[in-house]
Structure formats: C-alpha cells, structure tokens
Amino acid sequence: MIMTERLKHKYALSTQGAKDMIRACICVAITNIVLMMPAGILYSLIKDLLDGTLTKERVPFYATTSILVIFLTAVTNFIQYNATFLTTYRESGVRRTAIAEKLRKLPLSYFGKKNIADLTTNIMGDCAQIETASSHWIPELIGALISVSLVGISLFFAFDFRMVLASFWVIPVAFIIIITCSGAEKNAIRKNSAVKLTMTDGIQECLESIRDLRANNAQDLYMDELDDKIKNVEKMALFTELKMAVYVNSAAIILKIGIGTTAVVGGALFAKGEISLLTFFMFLMLVARLYDPMQITLQNFAAIIACGIQCERLDEVLSAEVQTGTEELKNNGYDITFEHVGFKYSDDTDVLTDVSFTARQGQVTALIGPSGGGKTTISRLAARFWDVNEGRITLGGEDISLIDPETLLKNYSIVFQDVTLFNNSVMENIRIGRKGATDEDVMEAAKLANCEQFIEQLPEKYDTFIGENGSELSGGERQRISIARAFLKDAPVILLDEATASLDAENETAIQEALSRLIKNKTVLIIAHRMRTVANADHIVVLKDGVVAEQGSPEFLSGYDSIYSHMKKQQMISQSWKM
C-alpha cells in the first residue's frame, strides 16, 4: 500500500495505474529470468558432455526442458506486453481525463498563476513523456534490477563467489554514477523546459497577434525575437544531451571494465585449478549477455530521472487544492450580499478592501467606477471563481464559500466582457446555455437577445458555422450570442460584465428592453462604463481603488456632487466632442 501511494505521487498515476506498474515490473523480471534459462540448460548439457554423463535417458529431459522454456518465453512475453503497454495506454487515458476533470474543478486563482501554453504542455507533452516512461523505461529498469539481483544471488551460492564479485561489481558502481548526476540533470531539464515554454508562448502569442503585428509593421522585429527563443531551445537541448551523455557513457565504460575483471579473475582462478574451464567460459558468456541490456537499462535510468520533472509538473496539477462545498442549497431567495469583503491576488496587492453592499433579488445593481477599481473582481467573487480573503459573500443568506462551485453556478447566468464562442453552429453555440434545450427554446433566446436580424442574413441561418471563437461574426454579434446563452439558461442570478460594450446604441436599447423582461424576480449584477447602460438601474455601487466610494439609486447619487454625477457629466462632454 505504501509502495502504491509512493508510485502514485512520483509518477502521477491513479491507484490502479500504480498497481499495474508494480505488476509490470514483476512481469519483466520473470521474463528476464526465463530468458536466462537457456544459458543454464546449455551449461548443464556441456557439463554432461565433458563429464561423459550424457546418456540416452538424459536426452528426453533436455528436449522437454527446451520445449518448456520456449513455451514459457512465449507466455511470459505475452503477459509482459499486456502488463506494460496495454495497461500503460489505458492509464494514459485515465491520466488525461483526471487532469481535465481536475482543471474543471480548480478555482480561477490557479489559472492566474499558469498560462495556457504551460497547461497544454501538461496535458499533451508531459502525459506523452510519462506514457513512454511507464511502458518502456520504468518496468524494464526495475525488472532488470530484480532479475539481475536474483541471478547474482543464485550464482553467489552455486559457484565461486570471487567470480560473481568480478562480474557484478561494475553494476552498482555504474548506477551510482548515474544517481550522482541526477541533481545536475534535473536542473538542466528544468532550464530546458523553461526555454521550451518561452518558445511555445512566443509562437502562440505570434499566432494570436499577427494582425496587430502586421498593422504596426512589427512582424520582422517580433520574428527576430522569436528566432532567438527557438535558438535558445536548440542550445539548451544540446547542452542537456551532452550533460546526460557524459554520465551515461562513463557508466557504460565502467560496465565494459567488468568484462576485463571477469577475464582476469577467471583466468587466474582457472590457472590455479580452483574453477573449471566450463565455469570460466560460462561467466564470460554471462557478462557478454548481461552487460549490453544493462547499458540500455542505464540509459533508461537517466531518462527516468529526466522524466521526474514532467511527473512533478503533473502531480502539481493533480494535487492542487479544489474548491468544495455542499451540493444542497438552503438559501432564502437570491440576494447577493458582500459583507466586509477583502481580496488580494497572489502578488499580495489589495484589490478590494472592506466592501459591503447587497444586490437584491428583482433589482438591477450596477457596479461603476474608474478602471481598476475592482468591478470585475466583484463579479468573479460573486460566482466563487475565487474565494475571498476577508469577510464573506452570501446568496440568499448562505455563505457561497460553503457551496460546491458547480452547484452554485447552476443558479447563475454570466455574460463576460470577453466572449468565448466555438467553431460550431449558431444553434449549438447558444444551446451551451442549457443542455438539452429545444431548437424553439434556442430561437426564443436569440430573439430576446436581438440576434434574429443578423442570424437570418447568415448563409445557413442557425446552422451556420461561425469559425474559431466566432471569427465569422462581428464583435456585437458575438456578444449578442453570449447574451442569448444567458437568456436560455434563465437562471435566478444574472451577472453582466460589460455585456453591451460592443453593441451600438440601437441594439443596446433592444437588449436593455429584453433584460427588463428577463429580470423579473431575479438578481442582476451589471458592470458598465457607459452611464446610459446603468441609467435605469435600481441601485448603483461606485467602486474606486477597491473600496465602495458611494452607493444608492441613480436619483440619489445625481442629487449631489458625487463620483457618479461627475462620470455622467464627463461622458456627456465626450459624446459632444467633435474632430
């Protein structure tokens, strides 16, 4: 059980995967021992020939034994193949699924510390590397060590111990050399991984920003920088391989010395008459058979050490703390209340300080204020994308930090400032809002979001594929599809983060009219910079530098020299500006 747990964390395995790895190592060891049996049969046969004891009665014994060994070799190889390869590929699928499930449950604060390229490398590159290690390197290494140890112990008691020492002393020395280099090798692998990640980031950034680079004639400069990153990967790869080669080749040379010591010691003992010629040649044959596979095993050992970095990265994801909570809601209504909430990101900078307000059910609560004041952070905290550092947030009187995130989000319809669409039809992009919704439900939601006009102009209307992230649509059209999702979900709480930012005045008015029909008995929290968007809100919360600077109805805040009235005035001035 202890071994299973250690393997789980060391190689990022499931419980069954760890058990399968132990079984694979045992199968490899058994296969190796079976493969050494012909040498034992040959030794016995030659001894009988030299001693003149090979009778007719002994011939059937050798024939039967040889057939049995051939049969055992076939069976053990078949079992080993299943134990190493098939189980590894099954475990690889389990691992990728486990990572995807883990990422689904992790809070957004985790993703704030990671970038997309790094996570993609986790799921694709690291998993593939561990798959190779689990199917080829680890079982072969451990199986070889077990089988060689058993053979060495058997020979120690069956033959002259000096010959055993002369043949086997090089194996632990070679492994010590590889183990000695493990620290330096891991450092080199970490640096190699870092420059690879920098290169991947650069390539991804280039693909995402190629339009802006060309618009500013900056593509040549950027490509020069990217070329440097690619060359750094090449240099680091060569350095890492050279570093590993020095240790692996040194260990291989030590193994070759073992042939010399076996010949010298065996020759001396034979000259003294302390061992037979047959025993001498048997040990020479043994080291020739043993050292070549051991050299491959040493290379595998070095690769396993290098693979440890990928295992650590995957185990970091799989061991990350997830948000948990009750799956049964006992809320009384859907008021969202912030009670003295304080929050800071990982850099320890205060984003919110002592924030208190209530977004009431059946009302529209608007969050406004200068950029960087904490408005978007509040909407994320309300949906428990992060957990607060101080105070608490309640939904209908129930602390949301005690509610399972997926259970909580069933009650939320969210429209983000940055819309994410999929390379699928308009119908399916909207249907994401509610699994199993009928086509009629989707069309009704699209009508409420004022999508009908542009959808009817598409080549295949609702069945039109809209490209990667809605590339075939305008910004306003993409945003309206996102709003249609929220309408389709029809959840009791609606969070709108600059939901109408990409809409023209006419469409914004239409969406606001649709919202007014949708929000009956619902809690609406809206973030906006345009004052006309929040003019009809029931309650306004003005945030500045992470604190609630003022709050109240639009009429109340307009009645004195408030930040709200100042923002209204400034927008009126900007709207009347002419070139």
Write the DSSP string, 416-474: -SS----SSBHHHHHHTTSTT--HHHHHHHHHHTT-HHHHHTSTTGGG-B--GGGTTS-
Instruction: Tell me phi and psi for residue 348, to 5 degrees.
Output: 70, 15
Specify the pLDDT at position 311: 75
The letter for the amino acid at 40 is: G
pLDDT for position 117: 66
- Degrees to nearest 5, angle at CA 468 with 465 and 473: 65
Higher pLDDT, 279 or 346: 279
H or E, element range at 537: none
Instruction: Determine the pLDDT at residue 238.
Output: 83
User: Percentage of the chain with pLDDT > 90?
Assistant: 1
Helix and strand totals (H; E) in the chain:
24, 10
Q: Band the pLDDT of 29: cuts 50, 70, 90.
A: confident
Distances (CA, A) of 534 to 299, 415, 482: 67, 16, 20
Predicted confidence (pLDDT) per residue in 118-165, tens digit: 777 767 777 777 777 777 777 887 888 888 888 888 888 888 888 888
Q: What's the mean pLDDT in 303-326?
A: 76
Q: What is the distance between the alpha carbons of residues 380 and 373, in angstroms, rounded to a whole number? A: 14
* pLDDT at residue 570, as a whole number: 66
What distance in Å separates the CA atoms of residue 21 and residue 19, rounded to the nearest whole number? 5
Position 112 scores a pLDDT of 65
Q: What is the pLDDT of residues 346-392, one digit of tens each?
A: 667 778 888 888 888 888 888 888 777 788 888 888 888 888 888 89
Question: Which of 70-74, 194-198, 311-315 holds the top average pLDDT?
Answer: 70-74
Q: State residue 115's pLDDT score.
A: 66
How far apart CA 438 and CA 359 sit, in angstroms, is: 32
Taking the whole predicted model, whether its pTM rises above 0.75 is answered as no
Q: Write down the pLDDT at residue 129.
A: 75
Q: Which residue has the higher pLDDT, 456 or 208?
A: 456
Residue 300 CA to chain centroid, in angstroms? 25
* CA–CA distances in Å: residue 189 to residues 176, 179, 409: 20, 15, 41
Round to whole Å and give the CA distance between 445 and 454. Answer: 14
pLDDT value at residue 146:
84
Average pLDDT of the residues in 438-464: 84
Most confident of 21-25, 63-67, 215-219: 63-67
Q: Give the type of residue at 34.
A: V
Selected residue with higher pLDDT from 499 and 380: 380
CATH, domain 336-575, list 3.40.50.300, 3.30.390.30, 3.20.20.70, 3.40.50.620: 3.40.50.300
Using alpha carbons, select from 182, 180, 152, 148 the residue that is nearest to residue 294.
148
Please state the rounded mean pLDDT for residues 452-471: 81
- What are the residue ranges spanned by the domains of the chain? 2-318, 336-575
First-to-final CA distance of the chain = 76
Helix, strand and coil percent figures for the chain, each rounded to 5: 65, 10, 25
Of the candidate ranges 14-18, 77-81, 303-307, 512-516, the one whose mean pLDDT is the lowest: 512-516
Tell me the pLDDT band of 230, cut-offs 50, 70 and 90: confident
Above 80 in pLDDT, residue 517?
A: no
Given a cut of 60, is residue 578 above it in pLDDT?
A: no
Is residue 352 within 8 A of residue 377, CB to CB? The reply is yes
Residue 400 is given by DSSP the state G
Mean pLDDT of 387-414: 87
Query: What CATH code is assigned to 2-318?
Result: 1.20.1560.10
Q: What is the pLDDT of residue 571?
A: 62
Instruction: Let me know: does 44 contact 37? Beta carbons within 8 Å.
Output: no
Mean pLDDT of 61-69: 87
Q: Is the pLDDT of residue 504 over 70?
A: no
For the chain, give the mean pLDDT. Answer: 80
DSSP code string of 184-213: HHHHHHHHHHHHHHHHHHHHHHHHHSHHHH
Residue 445: half-sphere exposure toward Cβ, Cα within 13 Å:
29
pLDDT, tens digit (0-9, with 9 covering 90-100), for 524-568: 888 877 776 677 788 888 888 888 888 888 788 777 777 777 776
What average pLDDT score do residues 328-345 get?
86
**C-alpha dist (Å) from residue 179 to 138, 305, 514:** 15, 9, 68
Tell me the C-alpha distance between 45 and 52, whole Å. Answer: 10
The C-alpha atoms of residue 254 and residue 261 are separated, in whole angstroms, by 11
Does the pLDDT of residue 297 top 80, yes or no? no
Q: Using one digit for the tens of pLDDT, what is the confidence trace for 75-89? A: 988 888 888 888 887
Return the pLDDT at 507.
65
Q: Do domains 2-318 and 336-575 have the same CATH topology?
A: no
Q: Is residue 73 scored above 80 in pLDDT?
A: yes
Angle, vertex CA 49, rays to CA 47 and CA 52, nearest 5: 105
